Structure 1
């Protein structure tokens, strides 16, 4: 049975989600409750296997996650550029790769801020790629800009694909929209930016701006008493029409 593992950013633990049970059975354990209790850890793992909540090596199709970025973020004044892995804030990247090593999924997808490629000469980006390669995974790094795919913001992020040698390594989707450039691209990884070749024939939709997203919202006055307000007009842009769709409508659009 195929299982997908989702590793979510949480302040105090990892949450495992799979196809074998519904949301009512989701479980995660605060790290403070497990750190000094070997019996508690043993019981958690044993019950997880008994209830088929925890997957077995080789039974996982995809591990997808984004280890927390506080250790490399430019907003962190106490980063450790000399040895980033001594920073506790960066340890979940190691944990992420250790889980990949143990479960041996067919595919791995990791997301992070581009600071992972800029901070300390891209040390942690190199670390993530080298861990995958050392585990005999194919690996591909790409920097993708959210605005290039129809969102009214720039928002660049780094993505790393990994695939077993027997699988086809996925490609990154090419941009669909033009974008208003913001921020700097890490020069050392410039060739990893997901974009068209300069000589390629391409058709890109126009860049979206903030007006495309919020021009249909009512003006909020001081001391506004309502937590929820109805739209004041019909959608004025294609983006507004799309984000008003229900989840079923979005599925049909896709």
Structure 2
């Protein structure tokens, strides 16, 4: 039976533990923006920190306040203000039509664009195609939907947080939800102390090479020619056997696998 978590901010504490661990272990390899987040984050109000982590753990980067309602956080808009003040999120971001559609329900689309009855029954994808030629460019959410009675935010740090997740886990397969499953007792981890010499990433180049390997893998999955992807694989240093083996595995996999 899954136990009920008694601490409503368990996810925030886990996220802070990750930041502290990375700061202690990898400070010499961090970029200025990574180090700035780790330094500034603990000083934010608790509700703001919790809202930020909730956004980081979700898919996508643009959210409506009405979809970020959590009892332990309280007012989403008030919690968002300190985050916007230091540039972690953007309030009322400019969106193109496709980004706007991702946030809207079909009744809202019909209302905003005053669709005739026959278009209101179409699938959202068909509605988007019908409107695309008439609505080019970007506008702020409040301009698109003046009487929404809602706020909109864009997480400006998702890529940065993904890099921190990579540094912590050493891969892109594991994500922030693993902490939830661990706290619920679904995943069990053994605590092991690692010496600084046992770091998977020994230099900033190692991190950048891993990111480059990941981007090449995504390009392959998107159908780019194998020869072009392999050509852009980073060389990876010979003295990092772990990283070098990942590169060699990527080459072998892409050469032996049929095109996606």
Larger helix fraction of residues: 2
Q: Same fold (TM over 0.5)?
A: no
Sort the TM-score into its range (normalised by shorter chain): under 0.3
Which one scores higher on RCO, CA 8 angstroms, separation ≥ 6? 2
Q: TM-score, normalised by structure 1?
A: 0.24
